[in-house]
Structures are given as structure tokens and as C-alpha cells.
Amino acid sequence: MASGNKDAGADLVNKLISDFYRTASDLAPDRMAEREFGVGNFEVKISQRHMSFRNELELKEYLCSNAVPYVSASSAYYRFPSGRPMEKKGWLGSELVFDLDVTDMELPCQLRHGKSWVCSSCLEEVRKETIKLVYDFLVPDFGFSEKEIAVNFSGNRGYHVHVKNGDVLMLDAAARKEITGYISGIGIDFERLFPTAGRRGEKLVGPSTKDKGWKGKIAKNFLSNLNAGVDSLMRMGVDKPIATKLYRSKSLVQMGIDNGNWDMVYIKNKGEFWKRIVEGQAVSQSDRIDRNVTNDPGHLIRLPNSIHGGTGLIARRLGAPRELYRFNPMKEAIAFRKGFVKIKAGTKYPLEMAEQRFGPYAGEIKVPTYVGVYLYLRGLASIINFI
Ligand SMILES: [Zn+2]
């Protein structure tokens, strides 16, 4: 934290959060009275749980009068949501929830700015990853309709995807784990996908774009990266010389893979090469998807359209999953649009918000409230006063 009057920042943020909830709308999740709620403070995201609210007004009054920086709700529905311990709640089913976060991705930009900063390229990559989850897996492979899928920005570094299909509600932890296993590509058998891979001198035969399930997915995903260019191939783990070679012959490579022939360009140790690429194709959030939210039917996750206390942004719910194709959180999830603040900041990278660039800063500067609050909550500025 830069030097300055820290209390001015805390006072301002509390007031802004309170004002936000006084007039907030669209806060009530479906079947609200059957959900468990948890709230947190600036130190702990969930400091109190087993709470329940009967309606939106009751929730808004609580969040407004306590200026709550983090509020979460269960992906589960319960007969007695405030009952404790958990067994007394009377579980009625749970949405299937995915939490995609840029912290779990290995991105070239992160090598420059580290994992504590989030740049526009980070947000782009995690948005694409979410599109991949919805449109490469949930819709085509599991048959969920877009109406059964709700997507919201997490308020910080990623997206949350809630599936509300009747069939998934009663799935237990083991069944949820199978779904995440499939999406994460656990159990992809390379030798079965590429039967000639180990045989010297034989043509490398593999999946074609016409195949269904994982096979077709592998072929299509590789080709879409090939068409996107050398950088995109390198992000898949292809070395630059090979990426350049593949890209130069891309029509030939495309024609081959469309028909299951992966041998159109000479690559040394081709079997090993393709194995590494194929295994990297699962949703790259697999560790995260696997280790927490999705498999635990009792998990609490940020309430859509609530404030994220680490950024001052809104965990904005998208009107439909399709909006992912054009959603810009640093524009559409801004909460505190009124006025300006004077801050003392020390930032290394420019911040892009509302389609403008702010900074880098060293010293005192007047900025829009949402910029000042974002930097303050990230620990990169102190707030001197509200103008
Ligand atoms: Zn980045």
C-alpha cells in the first residue's frame, strides 16, 4: 500500500458499496429462498455462512447496511438453507458450476507482468477459454441448451458458468468429477487416437475434423490455432521453427487433417511431438475445475451481479452465453461511475477501463472513481479524497 490516508479509501469504498446495493437490481438468483448465502470482509471472502434471505429486498437491505464487499450463494438448493451442520440443510440438488480463472493459465503476458496483475490480454484469453467450455463442450457434447447455461464475469480475473439443467441437479460429487474429467481430457489415449504413432516409417494417421467427441475436437482445435497464426501455435506449445513451418504449409496441413492424415509436413520425432500437443488441448483450467467448485455440490460462489471487493467491479451476469463473444468486463462490469478521486499511486502497467488507458502512475493524480477504487483495492494506490 502506498503511503497516504488509508481510511479515506476504506470510508469511500464502504459508502460506494452501500450506495450500490441501495439501488442494485437483478440480485436475486433463481429459487433464492432455497440457497445458502455467505458474506465476507476485506480480509476473508467468506467470514460468515449458513445465511438465508427470503427475497431480494431483504438481501439488498443486508448488503447495503453492512456495506458487504463479498457475497456468495450456494450452487445448491436446500430445504433449510441456514441449517447446520450441512447434513441438516436437506439438499435438493445443485447447479453444475465452473470457475475459470486466469490465475490458472500459463500466458506469455504473465511472464512480463506476473500473476498479481490482470491485463486486457489475460481477460481476452480467459474469455476465449470460457467460450471453449460452453461451445466446445457443454453445448455440443453434453447437449445443454444455451437457455440452461448462465454465465457471469467473476468480478476479477475470470468467469463463472452455471448449468441449470434439470438432469444435472441431482448429480453427486462422483458424477460431477466424471464430467470435469471429460472436459479436462483425463483419459485421452494418444495411442488409440493415433494408432500408427509408434511405428517407424508409417504415415501418421489420426483424428479428422469429421470425427465426433474428443477426436473431432482435437482436429478442429489444432486447425483453428493453425489458422490463427504462429503465436497461437506457440501458445499450444509448438516451437517457433515448427510453428512457422506448419503455418507456411497451412492449406496442405488443413487438407490432411480434414482427412485424418497428420503427416503432410515433415516433423522430427512426430509421434512425441503430436502427443504433447494433443495432451495440451483440454480446457486449460482443468486443475481448477477439478479441485474445487465443480465437484463440490455444497460450494458457495460469488453471487452474480454483486460487487467484487478486490476490484470494485460487478460480477456482471451476461444476458446470454452468446454475449461472451463480445463481452468486455473492463467496460461493462464497472460499478462506480460517478465522480473522480485523487489518488497516490504506484503502478507499472497501464490499466484499461471504459476503453481508456490509465497510467502507469507514480505519484498523485486525479482519476475516475472506478479507476481509483480498482487500484486502491489492488493495493496499488491510496485514496486521498473524493472530488
Ligand atoms: Zn496479462
pLDDT at 106: 83
- 343: number of CA atoms within 13 Å, CB side? 31
Rounded to the nearest angstrom, the distance between the alpha carbon of 6 and the centre of ligand 1 is: 28
3-state secondary structure of 168: coil
Query: Is the CB of residue 195 less than 8 Å from the CB of residue 207?
Result: no
Rounded to the nearest angstrom, the distance between the alpha carbon of 156 and the centre of ligand 1 is: 13
pLDDT at 289: 59
Tell me which residues of the chain have a pLDDT lower than 50. Answer: 1-6
Rounded to the nearest angstrom, the distance between the alpha carbon of 248 and the centre of ligand 1 is: 28
Phi, psi of 105 (to 5 degrees): -100, 155
For 251-275, write each residue's pLDDT tens digit.
Answer: 999 999 999 999 999 998 888 899 8
Amino acid sitting at position 127: R
Rounded to the nearest angstrom, the distance between the alpha carbon of 113 and the centre of ligand 1 is: 7
Amino acid sitting at position 361: Y
pTM: 0.85
pLDDT at 283: 63
Q: Which of 341, 326, 328, 332 is nearest to 374 (CA)?
A: 341
pLDDT at 288: 56
Chain centroid to CA 96: how far?
15
pLDDT at 284: 59
3-state secondary structure of 150: strand
Amino acid sitting at position 367: V
The x, y and z cell numbers of residue 153, run together, are: 464475469
The x, y and z cell numbers of residue 103, run together, are: 490465475
Rounded to the nearest angstrom, the distance between the alpha carbon of 162 and the centre of ligand 1 is: 25
The secondary structure element, H or E, covering residue 244 is helix 240-248
Chain centroid to CA 374: how far?
19
Sign of CA dihedral 77, 55, 12, 360: positive
Rounded to the nearest angstrom, the distance between the alpha carbon of 9 and the centre of ligand 1 is: 26
Rounded to the nearest angstrom, the distance between the alpha carbon of 12 and the centre of ligand 1 is: 29
Contacting residues for 126 by C-beta, under 8 A, at least 6 apart: 100, 101, 102, 105, 157, 158, 159
Angle at 330 between CA 326 and CA 332, to 5 degrees: 60
Q: Which of 179, 95, 75, 190 is nearest to 137 (CA)?
A: 179
Q: Which of 163, 169, 165, 151 is nearest to 77 (CA)?
A: 169
Return the biggest CA–CA distance within the chain.
73
Please state, in angstroms and rounded to a whole number, the distance separating the CA atoms of residues 233 and 246: 9
Contacting residues for 66 by C-beta, under 8 A, at least 6 apart: 39
DSSP letters of 33-93?
GGS-EEEE-SS-S-SEEEE--SSHHHHHHHHHHTT-SEEEEESEEESSTT-SSGGGG-EEE
The x, y and z cell numbers of residue 85, run together, are: 451442520
